[in-house]
Chain A
Amino acid sequence: MATEPITTELAGSCVGPNGGAIGMPQLCADWFPNQVFWLIIALVAIYFILTRIGLPRVGGVLAERQGTITNHIAAAEELKIRAQEAEKAYDKALADARAEAGRIVAAAKADIQKDLDAAMAKADEEIAAKSAESEAAIDEIRKGAMAAIEEVAKDTAGALVTALGGSGDQAAIDGAVEARLKG
């Protein structure tokens, strides 16, 4: 107890008259209660500092950090999946666009073909009309020519008959010429 005075003899058994240690101070039993008392106070103080403030705080910070890291990894994972989805969507859009472009090209080709066909048909028609017209004109010319030949032949035949001293029966001559031409 604090009130209990420690005799000089006891104190003297650990410290010499000149203030130096006698033997090992570690083995001085007079000091044990003091050391044990303050040790227990110190340990209890440290225990309360740790359990009330220190450890929960550090544990909380560590858990929070772990949580943050986990969250960030999860977020990164999600972003990666989204990036993959976006890539897939892009690929799909590209393929669609290609197909659409192909379709448009085919449609345009078909359109052009139709126009071309129509134009060809029209041109053919025009050509046919023109050639029919030409043929008619040729026919006419040919007919005209034939008639002229016939007339010339009849006239020539008449003239020949007259020149040869025959009596010109123009009708008989014409009939003979016609028969000859038809033959």
Chain B
Amino acid sequence: MATETATATEHGAEAAAHGAEAAHGGLNIHPMDQFIVKPLFGDGPVGMFTVTNVTLWMAVAVACVALLMVIGTRGRNIVPSRAQSIAELAYGFIYKMVEDVTGKEGVKYFPYIMTLFLFIVISNFIGLIPMAFTTTSHIAVTAVLALAVFLSVTVLGFIKNGPGFLGLFWVSSAPLVLRPILAIIELISYFVRPVSHSIRLAGNLMAGHAVIKVFAGFAGALGLFSILPIAAITAVYALELLVAFIQAYVFTILTCVYLKDALHPHH
């Protein structure tokens, strides 16, 4: 029995291609290895234009968008096909969100928000395919998304309202004494927005994927009892499916809320 377990451990370790560390024995878990960016062709360094697994999985996401929104809606049916229903559902979902949160003036920014939503939600879901790379688990990716939202919303706010956009920080409904203090708090919270906006998304996805990997590492070492971590992986995977959608939804609706602040800065 004991030798069998040992061979199983060794075998798992070899499969993980970390022979050197496996020599030390015990658990051999590398939850963060799945986030490594590596070139698809060759072993060279990762430059700006290197074709990497990031390129591959973003291309897959773009292909999924094309599949859903172009190929799926090809029929233009009055009574929709399955793929067209999903495309219409996504369209209606985001359109209604933009309209409800930002009002009629926000509707012209709908394509940008739809782009964000589809990229995030599809990246989150394809990242859950075993052996996949999750682009949205990287802070560099989510920070670009969040900063793009932050900068464009701030610029838009000043273009639309001029200096009146600063009224966002001046809570006119509060007592006059409190207003400067509230203004400082509002200002800080405004600049924290892109930070929380990006870390929320990347952090949620990274944590979920890392947890699954940790359980998978246990499963390799426990022999017969690996049924427990496998059950746990199943449960966490189900939760991650939920998180994949919810985080995309949260990112999108926060974008709408920030956009609303830019369009109507007065409380």
Residues of chain A whose beta carbon lies under 8 Å from any beta carbon of chain B:
1-2, 4-8, 10-11, 14-15, 18-21, 23-28, 30-43, 45-47, 49-51, 53-55, 57-62, 64-65, 68
Q: Decide if A28 touches B37 in the complex (CB within 8 Å).
A: yes
Smallest Cβ-Cβ distance to B30: which chain A residue: A20
Which of B1-9, B42-50, B160-168, B175-183 is the contact stretch?
B42-50
Whether A54 contacts B65 in the complex (CB less than 8 A), given A27-B139, A38-B52, A41-B58, comes out as yes
* B137 on interface, CB distance cutoff 8 Å: yes
- Expressed in whole angstroms, the minimum distance between the Cβ of B24 and any Cβ of chain A is 12
B37 touches A35 (CB 8 A): yes
Q: B66, B91, B116, B135: which contacts A35 (Cβ < 8 A)?
A: B135
- What are some 5 contacts across the A-B interface (CB < 8 A)? A4-B47, A20-B18, A20-B30, A24-B32, A58-B84
Return chain A residues, CB-CB under 8 Å to B129. none
Cβ 8 A contact of A11, one of B45, B49, B52, B137: B45
Whether B154 is near chain A, meaning CB under 8 Å from some CB there, is: no
Contact, CB under 8 Å: B111 / A61: no
The reply to whether A47 and B111 form a contact with Cβ atoms under 8 Å apart is yes
Which secondary structure characterizes the binding site on chain A? helix
CA distance in complex: A8, B37 (Å):
15
Question: Would you give the shortest CB distance from A17 to chain B, in whole angstroms?
Answer: 8
A6 with B45: CB separation less than 8 A: yes
List the 5 shortest-distance A-B pairs measured between CB atoms, nearest first. A54-B69, A6-B45, A42-B58, A25-B35, A33-B48
Would you call B33 and A58 a contact (CB within 8 A)?
Answer: no
With A and B bound together, what is the CA distance between A41 and B118 in angstroms?
15
> How distant is the Cα of A36 from the Cα of B48 in the complex, in angstroms?
8
- Count of chain B residues with a beta carbon within 8 Å of a chain A beta carbon: 57
Chain B: minimal CB distance from A1 (Å): 6
Say how far A140's CB is from chain B's closest CB, in angstroms: 108
Shortest A161–chain B CB gap in Å is 138
Q: Is the CB of B33 within 8 A of A21?
A: yes
Q: Is the Cβ of B69 less than 8 Å from the Cβ of A49?
A: yes
**Residues of the A chain whose Cβ atoms lie less than 8 Å from the Cβ of B119:** 42-43, 46
The answer on a CB contact under 8 Å between B78 and A26 is no
B-chain residues with CB within 8 Å of residue A6 when the two chains form the complex: 45-47
Considering the chains assembled together, what is the distance between the CA atoms of A65 and B76 in angstroms? Answer: 10
- Interchain CB contact (< 8 A) of B61 among A11, A14, A18, A42: A42
CB-based nearest B residue for A5: B45
Q: Give every chain B residue within 8 A of A61 (Cβ-Cβ).
A: 73, 76-78, 80, 84, 88
Q: Which residues of A contact B76 (CB under 8 A)?
A: 57, 60-61
Does B26 sit at the interface, judged by CB under 8 A?
A: no
In Å, the complex CA distance between A51 and B114 comes to 10
Contacting pair A25 B37 (CB below 8 A): yes
Q: Which residues of A contact B54 (CB under 8 A)?
A: 31, 34-35, 38-39
By the criterion CB–CB under 8 Å, are A2 and B73 in contact?
Answer: no
